[in-house]
Amino acid sequence: MTGIIKDSKGAPLEGVTISLVHEPTGFTTKAVSNSKGYYYLNNLQAGGPYTISFSSIGFNTDNRNVSLILGSNTINPQLTEASKTLTEVTISARTGLKGANLSVGQTQIKNMPTLSRSLQDMTKITPQSNNNSFAGTNFRYNNVTIDGAINNDAIGFSPSLGGQTNASGQPGSSTRTNPVSLDAIQDVQVYLTPYDVKIGNFLGGSINAVTRSGGNQVHGSVYGFGRSAFLVGPNNAGDKSKLPTEFHDYQTGFRVGLPIIKNKLFFFTNEEITRRVDPVILAAGSGDNTIISLAQAQSIDSVMRNKYGIANGAGAYGNTTIYSNSTKFFNRLDWVISPKHRLSLRNNTITSSATNLERDQQNFRFGDIDFKQVNNQTSTVLELKSNFNSSLSNSLVLG
């Protein structure tokens, strides 16, 4: 959070004390404005609410409640002399110079419509984005970080399989799962043209998410989201057919944040499971399949069984299904060491698997071509935030 403090005549004020209190955890930090009235508070936790006060001898104290978004927050207060009484005070604020960037706070995350409950459902409100492509670049040119630690798919397994268009450039795309539960996310930020020298390593978009933490009050949620075939309408662009009844997609889980030591040590946990089944249609001999007849498929299956001794034959040649399952475990510990130092330790573990079988008007595939892919991942991040004085701070991230 930054800004310039001025008096009622518009002159900058030096030596104004800025005191900021994070209400959920009681964490307090302070700063002092310089000779040009400028103040700077770094390494603040996104969200809030915060109680902030601007105080100086000879001036009335300016108190206010604010919530901070991920990135830059600018507040420019104007202090009045203590001897004067104003009947009306107008407070205005503006966003600092950030370039073509977007911040998605907790309120937007709660209210945004989302089918997959993924980061992509949040970043799509960026005007320059298209299916996780920013400004026309391939998604592999993005840089995705969670709590400041890189969360890209370095090996290159991101292209989606099984007909799902969730090529995100993140671990888990090969099994059609998300790298972190949306209920563990506090804020999301998208940078396209940042002015901050700390942000780089991308040509498309820089996507950064910060995770939730515990507080002095116990807070939590139990949730479930799901849809099945009866919630999906007919194929109005084609033959008016309905989705097979085998289709279903649901997510369920819970989250809890609580204090271990009030104002000092906090814990947050989020556990979630996702289960999805998708139909694979265009069966042999069906009206939509002009590649292979039912008799031909049965003949091939018989040869595989009788001549080559394969018990399952060629596999399913009728309508069948594929699945995508995942289980997510997220745990975070926050320690307020002192007004100058805060330490957080978090782990995000996902186990996921998916089967992959695709058919279209040009390609028919028997069931034995189906294969299962497993994607298990764990990510641990330790972060130490230090504010040494009004002009010197540091963030140490070990992942």
Question: Does the residue 216 lie in any domain?
Answer: yes
* 150-159, 198-207, 230-239: segment of lowest average pLDDT: 150-159
Examine the domain organization and report whether 204 and 334 are in the same domain.
Answer: yes
* 4-8, 131-135, 218-222: segment of lowest average pLDDT: 131-135
Q: What percent of the chain has pLDDT over 90?
A: 51
Tell me what pLDDT residue 123 has: 83
* Mean pLDDT of all residues in 139-145: 84
Tell me what pLDDT residue 94 has: 54
Locate 140 and state its tokens.
């592999």
pLDDT band at residue 109 using 50, 70 and 90 as cut-offs: confident
Question: Does the residue 88 lie in any domain?
Answer: no
Judged against a pLDDT cut of 70, whether residue 221 lies above it is answered with yes
Examine the domain organization and report whether 119 and 193 are in the same domain.
Answer: yes
Tell me what pLDDT residue 133 has: 80
Q: Report pLDDT digits (tens) over 51-72.
A: 999 999 889 999 999 999 887 7
- Dist. CA 325–CA 352, nearest whole Å: 6
Question: Does the residue 13 lie in any domain?
Answer: yes
Q: Give the CATH number, domain containing residue 6.
A: 2.60.40.1120
- Dist. CA 289–CA 38, nearest whole Å: 70
Tell me what pLDDT residue 149 has: 84
Examine the domain organization and report whether 134 and 14 are in the same domain.
Answer: no
From the list 143, 150, 49, 65, the residue with the least C-alpha distance to 105 is 49
Examine the domain organization and report whether 180 and 324 are in the same domain.
Answer: yes
Examine the domain organization and report whether 234 and 114 are in the same domain.
Answer: yes
From the list 250, 255, 303, 298, the residue with the least C-alpha distance to 274 is 250
Q: What sections of 260-370 are H helices per DSSP?
A: 294-306
Per-residue CA distances from 205 to 131, 139, 140 (Å): 12, 8, 10
- Dist. CA 272–CA 170, nearest whole Å: 18
Examine the domain organization and report whether 251 and 221 are in the same domain.
Answer: yes
| Number of domains the chain is built from | 2
Which of 45, 79, 113 is the last residue in one of the domains? 79
Residues 6+ apart with CB under 8 A from 50: 20, 21, 22, 23, 44, 65, 66, 67, 68
Tell me what pLDDT residue 160 has: 45
CA 9 from centroid of its chain's CA atoms = 44
* Mean pLDDT of all residues in 286-308: 91
Residues 6+ apart with CB under 8 A from 324: 162, 164, 175, 176, 177, 274, 275, 276, 278, 352, 353, 354, 355
Question: Does the residue 268 lie in any domain?
Answer: yes
Examine the domain organization and report whether 115 and 10 are in the same domain.
Answer: no
Tell me what pLDDT residue 11 has: 92
SS3 298: helix
Examine the domain organization and report whether 75 and 187 are in the same domain.
Answer: no
Locate 58 and state its tokens.
């000879």
Question: Does the residue 40 lie in any domain?
Answer: yes
CB crowding 261-300: b at 16 or more within 10 Å, else e: eeeebbebbbbbebebbbebbbbbeeeebeebeeeebeeb
Whether residue 49 has a cis bond before it, omega within 30° of 0: yes
Question: Does the residue 133 lie in any domain?
Answer: yes
- Dist. CA 162–CA 159, nearest whole Å: 10
Q: What percent of the chain has pLDDT over 70?
A: 91
Examine the domain organization and report whether 66 and 180 are in the same domain.
Answer: no
The rounded mean pLDDT for the chain is: 87
Question: Does the residue 230 lie in any domain?
Answer: yes
> Is the Cβ–Cβ distance between 301 and 313 less than 8 Å?
yes
Which of 48, 79, 110 is the last residue in one of the domains? 79
Question: Does the residue 277 lie in any domain?
Answer: yes
Tell me what pLDDT residue 300 has: 95
Examine the domain organization and report whether 211 and 352 are in the same domain.
Answer: yes
Tell me what pLDDT residue 268 has: 97
Tell me what pLDDT residue 96 has: 45
> Is the Cβ–Cβ distance between 184 and 220 less than 8 Å?
no
Cα atoms in the 13 Å half-sphere on the side-chain side of 127: 2
Q: Is 58 left (phi over 0), alpha (psi -120 to 50) or beta?
A: left
- Dist. CA 396–CA 384, nearest whole Å: 5
pLDDT band at residue 232 using 50, 70 and 90 as cut-offs: confident
- Dist. CA 157–CA 239, nearest whole Å: 35
Expressed as residue numbers, the domain containing 62 is: 2-79
Residue 274 sits at φ, ψ, to 5 deg, of -130, 140
Tell me what pLDDT residue 153 has: 73
* Mean pLDDT of all residues in 225-252: 87
Examine the domain organization and report whether 181 and 330 are in the same domain.
Answer: yes
Examine the domain organization and report whether 241 and 176 are in the same domain.
Answer: yes
